[in-house]
Each structure stands twice: as C-alpha cells, then as structure tokens.
C-alpha cells in the first residue's frame, strides 16, 4: 500500500518538484553570472506557453516517439518510487532514452541527427557506471530492490565511496549540464542550434520538457540511495550534489564527445569497478 502511494505521489507531484528544482537552478545560475534571473516558476510558464503554440512537424509520426519517451520516463520514476528492482528501473530509463534518440533521428534535420548520435554517445558514457551502481548496491545491501536499499540500516556509501564519486560524475551527463550537454543546446546561437530537439515545437516540445521534469526526482534519487535509511543525510547529500552540478555547469565549457566518453569510462573503471573489486576482497 505504501509503495502504491509513493508511486501515485511521484506521478502527480514529480513534475512539480522537478519544475521547482529547475526554476531554482536557473535562478542560482543567473546569480552566479551576475544576473537577477527568471522567476522560480518560469519552467511551468514555458511549458504552458508551448502548449499554446501551433505544432509544426516535419513528419507526423515523429511525435509518437516523444509520447513513448514521456511514457517510459514516467514509468521509470513510478518503478523507482514504488521501491521496485533497481535493474528494471535502469533498463526502463535506457528504453526511454532510446525513444528520445529515435525522435531525434525521425526529425530528419542534420542538427537533430547529430544530436541523436551524441545522445547515444552520452548513453554509452553513463550506462556502465549506472549499471555498476546497481551491482554495488546489491553487494552492500544484498538486494536490488529500491525499497530494501532505502530501509537498510547500514548506509551503502560506507562501502561504496568510489561508486558515489562515479555516480556523481555521470550525473553531469544525465542532468545535461556543461561540459557534457552535448546532444542539445539551451542557446540557439550554439553549433547544434537545438540539437536533438531542433525539429520539435509547441505541444511536442512541451512533452519533452515535462519528461525532463519527471526525470529530475529519480535521477537525484540515485544519490539518495547511498544513504539508506538515513533520509536526512540523503536529502542533504542530494542538495549538495545538485549545487555542485550547478557550479560545474557554470564553470566548464562544453567539451568534445571523445573526452566525455573516455573520461566517463575511466571514472567507471577506477571508482566503480575498483570499488566492486575492493568490496569483493573484503567480503
């Protein structure tokens, strides 16, 4: 019963939380750059404005992939907050990302195709570390289930400090922060124009933005898992990590995909796989 309630809370409150976090993100970023910044509710205003715009598409079928992208993002979050299998959560998240890539390819624009290919490269960069996180959680708590991990009396981070560093590193990719915001651009004058979302406008683009709002809570939930039943410390860690991501976003310029891929795999090998080896030797 509790798991169903958590799933429903995420379904209805997830985008509200994600929108508020995104609004605070934009306000803090603006202050770092010496600007006042938009209202905290600006992400919601943007989405409402997109729904009022005319939808212009290159191919009518391209929106089908957007619907499935949103559907599987929501499904992933519901699974996570219902305390289900972490591996299933990760596979569902990957499937959602694949539909997003297909949406970029379907647009047909050179910019959207390049963005889709870069999205695939980003998946290749962060997937190994995320999968190793699931393995590490099992080794630390003897369960793949999110519900068991968050009620574990022992904080997994005590056994998985390297894993925590690795996950924090790849969150920069998943949260689409610089220097790893390669597949899309928030600024129209950059080399990708709008990258993977170039050919989307109006309501279809609004659905993509809503999917991003749904994504924020369970992405930060990956950080929360490292603190088991110590929920207060988990919330503090999520706040600290997100502020760190904002700082990184405003400090580093966009890098090349080659560096992102190699660096992410090195981090996964050293901090992720290395942590698994040490844990195996200790166990």
Q: Looking at residue 209, what is its pLDDT?
A: 94
Looking at the domain assignment, is residue 237 inside a domain? yes
Helices (H) and strands (E) in the chain, counts: 11, 0
Residue with the bigger pLDDT between 189 and 249: it is 249
Q: Domain for residue 24, yes or no?
A: no
Q: pLDDT tens, 148-200?
A: 999 998 899 999 999 999 999 999 999 989 899 888 766 544 555 677 888 88
Asked if the structure places residue 251 within a domain, the reply is yes
Q: Identify the pLDDT of residue 95.
A: 96
For the whole model, what pTM was predicted?
0.93
pLDDT, position 192: 55
Range of the domain at 106: 2-10+44-282
148 domain-assigned: yes
Residue at 181 is within a domain: yes
Res. 67 pLDDT band, cuts 50 70 90? very high
- pLDDT band for position 270 (cuts 50, 70, 90): very high
Whether 26 maps to a domain, the answer reads: no
Query: How large is the angle between the packed helices 86-107 and 62-81, nearest 10 degrees?
Result: 160
Rounded Cα–Cα distance for residues 20 and 212 (Å): 12
Is pLDDT at 2 greater than 90 in this prediction? Answer: no
In the predicted model, is pLDDT for residue 133 greater than 90? Answer: yes
Tell me if 21 is assigned to some domain.
Answer: no
Residue-wise pLDDT tens digits, 3-52: 889 999 999 999 999 999 999 999 999 999 889 889 999 999 999 999 99
Note every long-range contact of 25-33, with CB atoms under 8 Å and residues 24 or more positions apart, other chains counting.
25/242, 25/246, 28/243, 28/246, 29/246, 29/249, 29/250, 32/246, 32/247, 32/250, 33/250
Of 238, 225, 249, residue with least CA distance to 155: 225
Please give the pLDDT value at position 111: 84
Within a domain: residue 35? Answer: no
Domains identified in the chain, total number: 1
At residue 85, the 3 state secondary structure works out as: strand
For residues 245-270, one letter each, b for 16 or more C-beta atoms within 10 angstroms of the residue's C-beta and e for the rest, the string is bbebbeeeeeeebeebeebbeebbee
Q: What ranges in 226-269 are assigned the alpha helix state H?
A: 231-249, 257-267
């Amino acid at each position: 019963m509790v798991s169903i309630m958590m799933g429903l809370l995420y379904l209805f409150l997830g985008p509200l939380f994600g929108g508020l976090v995104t609004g605070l993100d934009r306000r803090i970023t603006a202050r770092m750059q010496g600007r006042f910044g938009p209202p905290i509710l600006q992400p919601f205003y943007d989405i409402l404005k997109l729904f009022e715009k005319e939808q212009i598409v290159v191919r009518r079928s391209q929106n089908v992939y957007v619907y499935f992208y949103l559907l599987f993002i929501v499904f992933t979050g519901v699974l996570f907050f219902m305390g289900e299998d972490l591996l299933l959560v990760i596979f569902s998240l990957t499937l959602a990302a694949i539909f997003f890539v297909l949406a970029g390819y379907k647009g047909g624009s050179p910019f959207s195709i390049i963005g889709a290919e870069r999205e695939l490269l980003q998946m290749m960069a962060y997937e190994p570390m995320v999968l190793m996180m699931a393995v590490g959680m099992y080794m630390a708590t003897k369960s793949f289930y999110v519900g068991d991990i968050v009620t574990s009396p022992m904080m997994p981070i005590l056994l998985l400090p390297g894993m925590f560093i690795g996950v924090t590193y790849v969150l920069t990719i998943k949260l689409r922060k610089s220097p790893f915001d390669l597949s899309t651009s928030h600024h129209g004058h950059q080399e990708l124009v709008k990258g993977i979302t170039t050919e989307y406008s109006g309501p279809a683009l609004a659905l993509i933005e809503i999917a991003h709002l749904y994504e924020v809570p369970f992405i930060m939930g990956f950080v929360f898992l490292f603190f088991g039943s110590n929920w207060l410390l988990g919330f503090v860690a999520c706040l600290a990590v997100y502020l760190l991501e904002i700082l990184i976003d405003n400090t580093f310029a966009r890098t090349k995909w080659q560096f992102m891929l190699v660096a992410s795999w090195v981090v996964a090998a050293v901090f992720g796989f290395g942590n698994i080896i040490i844990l195996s030797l200790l166990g």
